Amino acid sequence: MQNFSIIVTCQDQQHELQRLLPRLLSLQYGGEYEVIVVDKAHDKDMIEWLEDMELRYPGLSHTFCPATSRGIDIHKLALTLGAKAAAYEWLAVLPAETQLQGEDWLRNLMACCNDEADVAVGITDRKRKLNWFSSYIFRRRFSLYRSTSAVILCRRSVLLQSKPVKLSKRQVIKL
């Protein structure tokens, strides 16, 4: 089993996190995983709630985008902060409103992580605006799915590269 880090970005979504995090952190998985929540709004109530959650769940950590990050795309910054905080090479980037599909969700998700792929995109059933990273991948390979939300698996080294990565068709897998 691969060890991996899950990055959940949120902005004023404490209700969605209250539903997602306990379920996500209690799923059974054969390897190790951590969950990193990146708060884009730097909400004081959210930070206090996350600190309480960290006491109950040792695999949970959080960070936030500083309020002084003007002129920087806040979602790109959130993903970069999450990736830099990650302990493992494989990252799963989830929106806060992700609906987990069963107890084997993590195992099924990580089945796509192998030496043949650098990035995998999974479609969720919830409609929302795409973030910059999934939008890039969707424009290149899955233009049919532009209006849906995505769960993205990628290598930490790919996400943190300074230059955009061109992905071949065999490197992108639809979950």
What fold is seen in the domain 4-174?
Answer: Spore Coat Polysaccharide Biosynthesis Protein SpsA; Chain A (3.90.550)
CB 143 within 8 A of CB 66: no
Full-model pTM: 0.78
- The predicted model gives 91-110 an average pLDDT of 82
Amino acid (one-letter) located at 104: D
pLDDT in tens, 8-39: 998 888 899 999 999 899 888 888 999 999 98
